[in-house]
Each structure stands twice: as C-alpha cells, then as structure tokens.
Structure 1
Amino acid sequence: MSALVNGVLLTEVFVTLFVIMDPVGTVPIFLSLTGGRSPAAARRAAWQAVTVSFFVITVFAFFGQQILEYLHISLPALQCAGGLLLLLVALELLTGNEQEPTAQAGTNVALVPLGTPLLAGPGAIVATMLFSRDVHDGPDFVAVALGVILVHLSLWAAMRYSLPILRLIRESGVLLVTRIAGLLLSAIAVQLVADAVRAFIAGEG
C-alpha cells in the first residue's frame, strides 16, 4: 500500500514557504498595523489576513499556469522576477533597512498589505506554483496541500499570539530571527533565479 503523503515533499513545501512567508517576522509588522485596535479586532484581522493569503496562494496553485499563459508570461520569467524581488526583500532584512508598511485610513489592513503582498507575495506564489507543477499523484497533492495549510496555520498562530511572542523573545529576538530569515531567503532567491536561468538556457522560457 502506497503512502498517503509524500513526507519529503511535505517537509520541503513547509520549510520553503515558512522561510519565504516568515511567520515570526510578521509579528512586529502585525503589531504596528493593528496598534490601537481592540483584541477582538486584532484577532479578526489575523484570520482575515491568513484567509486572503490562502485564497491567493490556492488560486495560483490551481490556475497560475493558465493565468500566465493568458498573459503570455512563462513560468521561468515569473520565477526569475519573484527571485529578484525576494532578493531585494532579503537584502533589506539583512541590512535592517526594511520599512514597515503603514495602514491608510479607512482601509482593512488584513487585506492589504497583510494578506497580500506581505504574506501572499511573489515568492510564495512562485514557490507554490513550482511545487504544484511537480505534483504527479495523490501523495504529492496531499503533501503540497498540507504544507500550504500548515504554513498558514503558523502564520495565524504568530499573529494571534503576537503579544506573548513579543514579550517572550523581545525585540532583540525578533531582530535575530529576521536576520536569519533574510539569509535563508536570499539563498532561496538566488536558487530561484539560477533555476530560471537554466530553464531559459534549456529553451523552456
């Protein structure tokens, strides 16, 4: 009897998306965007942001290739663009020059900028599309689906319990995790660009 889930693929999906979407790194941003709101409103914003992100990721997982074909954009092109954008974000995290987005009056911060593009950004979209392209059977599909779900549960937990997390690891802890995430994110970005270049050379672009 074959396994119900591809454990190796599940681990790869979860780790990759976890590093790209950075649940711990969203804590200070979430706190700044929901500052002054009631605890109930902050909890609602956490759920809404995760829901928006999950919806965007799911749409591109299932229909991303069709969307790209309609726009005459190849996957290696999107992969390269996503890698370059990720590299910019990674450099900002590493150098400490990142700027926290501010909420405009009358806007729902859970939708923009939290849900997208902070959570469901180009890097996460490209990574999910690449994983979806490698799905060949039921266990692979379950692995990718579980990986996406587990990462979004981690994102929700990080935002839902952001105040206790911040009190536990303090600002210096968040800074350390952000720097480590920036290093890993830069490696993923370079790998995305390198894979895209190889695909272009092979004539897949």
Structure 2
Amino acid sequence: MDPPGIVPIYLALTGTMDQRQRSRAALQATCLSLGVITLFALLGQQIISYLHIDLAALQGAGGLLLLLVALQLLTGKADDPNEAATSNIALVPLGTPLLAGPGAIVAVILFVKQAESNVDYLWIALAIVVIHVSIFLVMRFSGFLVKILRRGGIEVLTRIAGVLLAAIAVQLIADAVMGYVAVFESSAGASVW
C-alpha cells in the first residue's frame, strides 16, 4: 500500500467532485480497504483454499480490473458525469483494487501465515490500522492540489494516472503469469525426477 502513490489516481478519479464529496470518497475507500484487508488477515488463507484460488490468480484478476480503470482514465470516460453517476469510485476502484489490491491482500495473508506469536499478530493489526489512517489523511488533505492544479491540471494528471495505473495492472498480470510459470516449472521438474 502506497499512501503518496494513491494521490494522483485519487485526484484524477475525484477531480469533478467538490471537497465534501472528495472527503466522503476518501473515508469510504479507506473503510472498505480496512474491512477487506482485515477480512483477509483473519480468513484469507481459508477463503482462497476453499475457493481453490491461487495467489497468482488473485493478482491476475486485480490486474485486469485495474487495466479497465486505466483505460477509462486514458480515454476520458472517467470524467463523464453520466458514468460517474452509475458507480461509486470510492468503492471500485479506490477501495478495491487500488488500496486493498492483490498485492496488499497477498502480503497480509503471508504475514499472518508467518506470525508465530500473539505479539506478531498485534504488530500486524497495528500496521494495518496505521497504514489506513495514513492513507485517509493523505487523500483527505490532497485537496489543496486541486486548488493549485485547477481543471486543466487535473485532466493532465488523469491521463498520467491512467498510464501509471496501466503499468501497475500490466505488472500485476505479468507477476501472475510468472507465478504460474514458476509453479509449472517446479511441477514439471518434479515429474521428470
């Protein structure tokens, strides 16, 4: 999770909103992310085991979803008021998969799996809360950039955010493919021996 890194995407997605709506979107996105990350911290391993999902599949799905959002930012469809009225950007894509994305979900599952004592679980819980408070504060007080950049600057920032988001999406998809390649190579190597 990257509090400063979310600012350009947050501003691009909320550029047409007033300050009150942006603050509400920041709070909703943070709460959703906190809920998703907490859920996966508590039950993540059981969820992916029950559904027979590989972590690589989770990364690939998140990458595809982010790629769709990136295309909307690049083509200007994120600025269309008719599009914005039909969905809540605070939930998708801000809350998930940008904040509570595949990387954060996989990381929290792995950290919980490696925890050896109650103190380790306490540190993980504290880290989850601190990062979410940081994310909320960064998004909440990024509004001063809107005053500086104005409408034209937000449009440029939207396109840049779209390119960056597309790169993140492609990286997630590539990581998922490489994860499957590694599994395939290890199973092929095991079958040869």
Same fold, judged at TM 0.5 (above): yes
Task: Report if aligned partners of 1:50, 1:155 keep a CA contact under 8 Å in 2.
Answer: no
**Aligned pairs, number:** 173
Larger relative helix fraction: 2
Alignment deviations for residues 41-84 of structure 1 (CA, whole Å, 9 cap, x no partner): 87566544532343233323443332222222222111101101
The residue aligned with 2:191 is none
Task: Report if aligned partners of 1:14, 1:148 keep a CA contact under 8 Å in 2.
Answer: no
Q: Where does 1:75-154 land on structure 2 (aligned, <5 Å)?
A: 75-98=55-78, 99=80, 101-103=83-85, 113-123=88-98, 124-133=100-109, 135=111, 141=124, 146-154=130-138
Shift of 1:20: 8.8
Task: Report if aligned partners of 1:79, 1:126 keep a CA contact under 8 Å in 2.
Answer: yes
Task: Report if aligned partners of 2:59, 2:176 keep a CA contact under 8 Å in 1.
Answer: yes
Shift of 1:156: 2.7
- Let me know the Cα RMSD of the aligned residues: 3.4
Q: Separation in 2 of the partners of 1:197 and 1:59?
A: 26
Calculate the TM-score normalised by the size of structure 2: 0.69
* CA gap 1:149/1:46 in 2 versus in 1, 3 angstroms: closer
Query: Which ranges of structure 1 fall in alignment gaps of 5 or more residues?
Result: 1-12, 105-111
Kindly indicate whether residue 42 of structure 2 is the aligned counterpart of residue 58 of structure 1.
no
Kindly indicate whether residue 2 of structure 2 is the aligned counterpart of residue 14 of structure 1.
yes
The residue aligned with 1:166 is 146
Query: Which ranges of structure 2 fall in alignment gaps of 5 or more residues?
Result: 185-193
The residue aligned with 1:155 is 139
Kindly indicate whether residue 55 of structure 2 is the aligned counterpart of residue 68 of structure 1.
no
SS at match of 1:72: coil
Task: Report if aligned partners of 2:12, 2:158 keep a CA contact under 8 Å in 1.
Answer: yes
Alignment deviations for residues 115-165 of structure 1 (CA, whole Å, 9 cap, x no partner): 412321234321211332453576x9466654443223222334xxx4x54
Calculate the TM-score normalised by the size of structure 1: 0.65
Computing the radius of gyration over CA atoms, which structure comes out larger, 1 or 2?
2
Match of 2:162 among 182, 185, 188: 182
Task: Report if aligned partners of 1:19, 1:181 keep a CA contact under 8 Å in 2.
Answer: no
Identity among equivalent positions (%) equals 37
Q: Separation in 2 of the partners of 1:46 and 1:202?
A: 38
Task: Report if aligned partners of 2:60, 2:173 keep a CA contact under 8 Å in 1.
Answer: yes
Task: Report if aligned partners of 1:93, 1:182 keep a CA contact under 8 Å in 2.
Answer: yes
* CA gap 1:95/1:144 in 2 versus in 1, 3 angstroms: same
Shift of 1:170: 0.6
Match of 1:199 among 165, 179, 187: 179
Q: Separation in 2 of the partners of 1:78 and 1:117?
A: 16
Shift of 1:26: 3.5
